Chains A and B, each alone.
Chain A
Amino acid sequence: MGFLPLSFGLPAVLAGLLALPVIWWLLRLTPPKPQTEAFPPLKILARVLRKEETPHQSPWWLTLLRLAMAALIIFALAEPVFNPRERISTGGNAVAIVIDNGWASAPDWAMRVASAERLIADAQAENAPVLIAFTVDAPNAEIGPFDAEAARERLNAAEARPVPVDRAATYERVAQALAELPNTSVAVLSDGLASEADDAAFDRLLANAGGLIWATPQGVTEIGLTATANEPDAFVVEAVRPTADAGPRQAVVAALDDRGRRIAEAQLSFGAGEAAATAAFAVPFELRNDFNSVAVDGEAQAGAVRVLDENSRRRRVGLIAQGDGDEAQPLLSPLHYISRALAPFADLVEPSSADLGSAIPELLEQRPAMIVMADVGTLPDEAHAALTEWVEGGGTLVRFAGPRLAAAEPDEDLLPVRLRIGERALGGTLSWTEPQAIAEYPQGSPFADLTPPADVTVSRQVLAEPTADIVERSWVNLADGTPLVTGARRGDGTLALFHITPQATWSNLPISGSFVELLRRLVQLSRNQGPGNAQTGNGEATLPPYRLIAADGSLVPPTPDARPLAVSTEAAVTIENPPGLYGTEEGVVAHNLLPQDATLEPIARPETPLAVRDVAYGFDEQVDLRGPLFAIALALMILDTLAVLWLGGKLRRPRAARAVPAALALALIGAISMPDAHAQAQGEETDIQPGDEEAIAAISQTRIAYVLTGDSSIDAISRAGLEGLGRFLSAKTALEPGEPVGVDIAVDELAFYPLIYWPIDEGSEMPSQAALARIDAYMQDGGTVLFDTRDQFGAGFDAGSASPSTMRLRDILANMNVPPLEPVPDDHVLTKAFYILPEFPGRFNGSPLWVEASQTVEEMADRPVRVGDGVTPIMITANDLAGAWAIGGNGAPMLPTVPADPMQRVYAYRAGVNIMMYMLTGNYKSDQVHVPSILERLGQ
């Protein structure tokens, strides 16, 4: 089959295809077995059947299906292979496979293994022994010759390692083995990157070889990180890429913290033709200190990861002081405030001895980024020289003044400015000056973007000799212009001098927040001067592996073959010392794969007179088609079974089943619509608010309300009175009021009630303004309040006298908008709303019922009845109406009338009826005036 990448293991079986026509013929003749049915009316059926020709052959498509099935089985038996791979004829007696398994092989290691497996398979086909060697492996690793099975085991056991390849050593071993196996083909599966001494190694390898099979990756695109630097303004990562990778390229470098969380990222861009690039993390200092590793996104190999140790982060700061304060008085110690200020963001190192001659070299051993000297006057010459050298080499020396420095000779090398002997006191008893505040930080000072403290004063300082450059050396000035902090560059280093003591004796700057800010800025300016050396002087010190970089670039716990790292020497990255962090939780040292000057050069194929064959890496893509073909044949067989069943009429669905889809659809629709219904129900539920039930009860019947005074006896009489009135109303009129309601005018909703009966009780508390405002609003909205002072005979005999209840009523009404009032006139609707009543007695008689004054007599001259529109919002009486209405449980009156006249009680009820009718029907009874004339017309 030339047009298809298809080959057959047993092509002879294909001859079976010739049998297909026979199968076809047989199949055509074999109809499916019929279903047997007993059928009494066969004679009738026979008459029908005579017309039709019974098919004695299978339908054509069934035959086709079965033929296809047979053909598929024949094909499957012929062992077809799709995409058969090309056989690499290795030639020679044996094959030596040399595989690079360094860090650059990690991303496509599986492909390399696949390629090697193909070589092994081909060698197996030729019965050639196989040597297999890895360029990163233990020096004593077995390299063969193996048979194919052992070689495969060896191959599968190997893995990519996160270390550089060591071709020279491996090739040497292979070459030695080749010496005993002449005419051996050598297969070099390289990672595509050149290493040192490649040429010599290849020469040695190919010396005894019989042929070369050469495989390199198509394009090498690994990015390696070569260096990191914690610059003052950013954390800088340097990266390289293979020189062959020439196009412009962008990559993202991520910074991870110690738990592998991504805390920052930066862009890495290689220009066209550039092999190196840098990325800068412009993130705050504190965040940078959390960096544990940096890695290039999308690069699953160890070279793209760099672990960071303390060197990249916290600065070491050496502290030197003379005449340390008493341990018992730490606040007086010169270094106390400095160490408190620096400890959060720097490692503090203090010398073990107070002797400056030994203390300073000891400090310098630690290679600190910064040394703080608190009031150190004169230095020993040796220490001075060492310190000067350190500063010029990039160290930052921060000095604080004090009595000793003030008394010392000027030190040009280690002071940024010349100092005058002695100090200047401000605001002392004999001084005219005041303690000085700090001025704005001058432009050009490293502190320029900080805010100077307003509350710091300096009362004493050392003074700089005025020089020409004093202004540019002044980093902080006092308000009067004298420098407080001066600084200068010395070589690569920096000198800074605080003209005050580091304690709070000369100024209160050391106990201010600005002190921390200033020192922190200085620390940020400093740079570490090389890796720290924890075990100084112990050259054999080793650090155990702590976290290692795996071949795929992830940080993993130590592997068993990782050995402790010797710190003293520049240890190479080997299989025993894979890259990663060494040390313990307390402190680690980074051991990184790529040196700073690393370049990634492409490997060159060695010049050799041998026959060379280039091979590309690739997976074995051949597919055995036997399984799929058998599966298809099986599927066809199932189809055939179904078809036969269908032909036999056995696939008829019961009628009920036809309803199933519809039922399912209905159920589905139901299920979909259910949530809506549910939501609706919920929506209805949420409509209900607290108090709704009371409201519904209040409006489903006409109910008369009374004001709860707080006096239970009055409230009980009010309730009993309204109940009595209710009974009277039910008996005499069409109105059947509900239970009377006691309302708290401050809280309850009033709008439900047509009439509120308010017995005035001088003993109870005066209603609040808000409650009165509610009553007022109720009256304005159409409600009526019936005030009852119940004191017809309580007032004095003087004309102007008023009872306490009346006084209270006046107080209440004073806060409301009360319309003009008048006693019920004779022609008021109230007098004829139901009964004809000249007066409105209660328990007492004689008090008028005050209502809103109706229109003037003049306007209404032509009307027989006053009050055209509206219902009075207020009624006032003193007759104690509720007292007269009140009935007990047995229906008997509770209180006697005064005087004890039964008719008065009847009139009292009638008054109540009239009031209620007036409330509910308004003024329609005014029209009653027309009754006489109507009757007259009717001929009465």
Chain B
Amino acid sequence: MASVGAVSPAVAPRDALARARVRAALVPDLLIEARRVVNTVIAGWHGRRKRGIGENFWQFRPYVDGEAIARIDWRRSARDDHTYVRDREWEAAHTVWLWADPSASMLFQSKTASVSKDSRALVLALALAELLSRSGERIAWPGLTDPFSARNGAERLAAQMMHAANLPTRPNLSTMKRFSDVVLISDFLDPVEETREWLDTLATRGVRAHLIEISDPAEEEFPYSGRTEFQDPETGTKLTAGRAETLREDYRNLYAARREELSAWARKLGWSYTVNHTDKLASDALVRVHLAMSQGSR
């Protein structure tokens, strides 16, 4: 009888990119609600359905004293006795940091899962990159790229990742500025205290983070029984259980408690916390994160 789970080889970013494109095509253009980031606006490509700085005509409105004369649209004003100002649609973009956990534990894939956690995480990250760059947002990968804006953002990310040597297990989060969004995709299996300590820097800077937990069904269900030797793929530590099925209940309680604690903490900070199982579709998580990014700050 084969093992329940196995450590699969790391997924090639090019392959993940293709799959990510497919995922991204399913999701409507991502629209980031960025009301709070007035000061850091940089012109984006997508209208915000409101008056603001942009290229596209939005509306004519009567000239109010005190406005710059230069803004009067003489052409329109010549048609009747009033003077009009041409308003343009407000267009904005902001920076979204994307990061997928490259650690060894992410390479795990059980028999019931369709892909490994690593693969799923990369697909999600690239799908978001594709979405965001299509919307004209600036994207970045901590430790890999600075924020950039490009149509082919996902491709550029994938190419950079291929050429990059070993990525650090924990990225340097200090480069992230206020009002930017961070998407962190990991399994968050470290003790909650460590994770919180690591993410506290983001919380203090006012960065809005979206945590996506990739979970393998075997990790959640614990379908092991009999005499089993468990091995940690990261550290290589071994543990032997005489009758694994007796541990199931306790383990599941602990596992669920970890997730509950982490997600409660995230919610308290106004962050989103999304769980994605590798035996489910990646689109589930994509849609939820999309929703959280566009409306989460309301």
Which residues 643-692 in A have Cβ within 8 Å of B in the complex?
646-650, 652
Given contacts A37-B229, A48-B251, A48-B254, contact A42 B239 (CB under 8 A): yes
Q: Does B233 contact A32, Cβ atoms closer than 8 Å?
A: no
Tell me if A47 counts as interface (CB < 8 A to partner B).
yes
Tell me if A49 counts as interface (CB < 8 A to partner B).
yes
Measured in the bound complex, the distance between the Cα atoms of B87 and A538 in whole Å is 154
Which stretch in A51-59, A392-400, A452-460, A736-744 binds the other chain? A51-59
> Which A residues are CB-close (under 8 A) to B5?
37-39
Q: Does A38 contact B224, Cβ atoms closer than 8 Å?
A: no
A54 partner, pick from B190, B232, B237, B242, beta carbons under 8 A: B242
> Which A residues are CB-close (under 8 A) to B1?
35, 649-650
Tell me if A34 counts as interface (CB < 8 A to partner B).
yes
B242 partner, pick from A38, A43, A52, A652, beta carbons under 8 A: A52
Q: Does B229 contact A46, Cβ atoms closer than 8 Å?
A: no
Q: Does A40 contact B227, Cβ atoms closer than 8 Å?
A: no
B227 partner, pick from A34, A38, A44, A52, beta carbons under 8 A: A34
Tell me if B80 counts as interface (CB < 8 A to partner A).
no
Q: Does A39 contact B230, Cβ atoms closer than 8 Å?
A: yes
Q: Does B247 contact A31, Cβ atoms closer than 8 Å?
A: no
Q: Does A49 contact B6, Cβ atoms closer than 8 Å?
A: no
Question: Measured between C-beta atoms, what is the minimum distance from A279 to chain B in Å?
Answer: 75
Q: DSSP class of B's interface residues: helix, strand, loop or mixed?
A: mixed
B250 partner, pick from A35, A48, A649, beta carbons under 8 A: A48
B173-215 vs A, Cβ < 8 Å mask (1 yes, 0 no): 0000000000000010111000000000000000000000000
> Which B residues are CB-close (under 8 A) to A747?
none
Which residues 38-90 in A have Cβ within 8 Å of B in the complex?
38-49, 51-52, 54-55
Tell me if A712 counts as interface (CB < 8 A to partner B).
no
Measured in the bound complex, the distance between the Cα atoms of B246 and A55 in whole Å is 13
> Which A residues are CB-close (under 8 A) to B258?
44
> Which A residues are CB-close (under 8 A) to B6?
38
B230 partner, pick from A42, A648, A650, beta carbons under 8 A: A42
> Which A residues are CB-close (under 8 A) to B81?
none
- Tell me the nearest residue of chain A to B219, going by C-beta: A41
> Which A residues are CB-close (under 8 A) to B255?
41, 44
Question: Measured between C-beta atoms, what is the minimum distance from B288 to chain A in Å?
Answer: 23
Tell me if B294 counts as interface (CB < 8 A to partner A).
no
- Tell me the nearest residue of chain B to A40, going by C-beta: B105
Q: Does A650 contact B189, Cβ atoms closer than 8 Å?
A: no
Question: Measured between C-beta atoms, what is the minimum distance from B233 to chain A in Å?
Answer: 5
Measured in the bound complex, the distance between the Cα atoms of B229 and A35 in whole Å is 6
Q: Does A43 contact B189, Cβ atoms closer than 8 Å?
A: yes
Question: Measured between C-beta atoms, what is the minimum distance from A738 to chain B in Å?
Answer: 64
> Which B residues are CB-close (under 8 A) to A43?
189-191, 232
**B-side interface size class:** 35 or more
Tell me if A140 counts as interface (CB < 8 A to partner B).
no
Measured in the bound complex, the distance between the Cα atoms of B228 and A106 in whole Å is 69
Tell me if A764 counts as interface (CB < 8 A to partner B).
no
- Tell me the nearest residue of chain A to B226, going by C-beta: A649
Q: Does A32 contact B230, Cβ atoms closer than 8 Å?
A: no
Tell me if B241 counts as interface (CB < 8 A to partner A).
yes
Measured in the bound complex, the distance between the Cα atoms of B227 and A31 in whole Å is 9
- Tell me the nearest residue of chain A to B216, going by C-beta: A40
A3-44 vs B, Cβ < 8 Å mask (1 yes, 0 no): 000000000000000000000000000011111111111111
Measured in the bound complex, the distance between the Cα atoms of B248 and A52 in whole Å is 12
Which residues 1-51 in B have Cβ within 8 Å of A in the complex?
1, 3-7
- Tell me the nearest residue of chain A to B117, going by C-beta: A40
- Tell me the nearest residue of chain A to B241, going by C-beta: A49
Measured in the bound complex, the distance between the Cα atoms of B4 and A650 in whole Å is 11
Tell me if B160 counts as interface (CB < 8 A to partner A).
no
The interface on chain A, measured as residues whose beta carbon lies within 8 A of the other chain's beta carbons, has a size of 29
B248-264 vs A, Cβ < 8 Å mask (1 yes, 0 no): 00110011001000000
Q: Does B230 contact A45, Cβ atoms closer than 8 Å?
A: yes
Measured in the bound complex, the distance between the Cα atoms of B251 and A47 in whole Å is 8
A586-623 vs B, Cβ < 8 Å mask (1 yes, 0 no): 00000000000000000000000000000000000000
Tell me if B172 counts as interface (CB < 8 A to partner A).
no
Question: Measured between C-beta atoms, what is the minimum distance from A563 to chain B in Å?
Answer: 77
A39 partner, pick from B190, B232, B242, B254, beta carbons under 8 A: B232
Tell me if B108 counts as interface (CB < 8 A to partner A).
yes
Given contacts A37-B5, A38-B3, A40-B108, contact A45 B247 (CB under 8 A): yes
Measured in the bound complex, the distance between the Cα atoms of B240 and A877 in whole Å is 112
> Which A residues are CB-close (under 8 A) to B247?
45, 48-49, 52
Question: Measured between C-beta atoms, what is the minimum distance from A650 to chain B in Å?
Answer: 4
> Which A residues are CB-close (under 8 A) to B108?
38-40
> Which B residues are CB-close (under 8 A) to A648?
226-227
- Kindly name the residue among A45, A46, A647, A652 whose own CB sees the greatest number of chain B CB atoms within 10 A: A45
Given contacts A43-B189, A48-B250, contact A37 B242 (CB under 8 A): no
- Tell me the nearest residue of chain A to B3, going by C-beta: A37
Which residues 769-797 in A have Cβ within 8 Å of B in the complex?
none
Tell me if B231 counts as interface (CB < 8 A to partner A).
yes
- Tell me the nearest residue of chain A to B227, going by C-beta: A34
Q: Does A37 contact B4, Cβ atoms closer than 8 Å?
A: yes
> Which B residues are CB-close (under 8 A) to A31?
227
Which residues 96-128 in B have Cβ within 8 Å of A in the complex?
105-106, 108
Question: Measured between C-beta atoms, what is the minimum distance from A647 to chain B in Å?
Answer: 6
Given contacts A43-B191, A49-B239, A49-B241, contact A37 B225 (CB under 8 A): no
Q: Does B254 contact A47, Cβ atoms closer than 8 Å?
A: yes
Measured in the bound complex, the distance between the Cα atoms of B243 and A646 in whole Å is 11
Given contacts A38-B108, A52-B246, contact A44 B189 (CB under 8 A): yes
A861-904 vs B, Cβ < 8 Å mask (1 yes, 0 no): 00000000000000000000000000000000000000000000
Tell me if B53 counts as interface (CB < 8 A to partner A).
no
Tell me if B150 counts as interface (CB < 8 A to partner A).
no
List the 7 closest pairs (A to B, CB-CB), nearest first: A649-B226, A40-B105, A42-B232, A39-B230, A649-B225, A55-B242, A34-B227
The 26 listed contacts between A and B (C-beta, < 8 Å) are: A31-B227, A34-B226, A34-B227, A34-B241, A35-B3, A37-B228, A38-B3, A39-B219, A39-B230, A39-B232, A40-B219, A40-B234, A42-B230, A42-B231, A42-B235, A42-B239, A43-B232, A44-B255, A44-B258, A45-B239, A45-B241, A48-B251, A646-B226, A647-B226, A649-B224, A649-B228
Known: A40-B105, A40-B108, A649-B1. 7 other contacts (CB 8 A): A34-B240, A36-B231, A40-B189, A42-B231, A45-B239, A55-B243, A650-B1
Binding site for B on A (CB under 8 A): 31-49, 51-52, 54-55, 646-650, 652
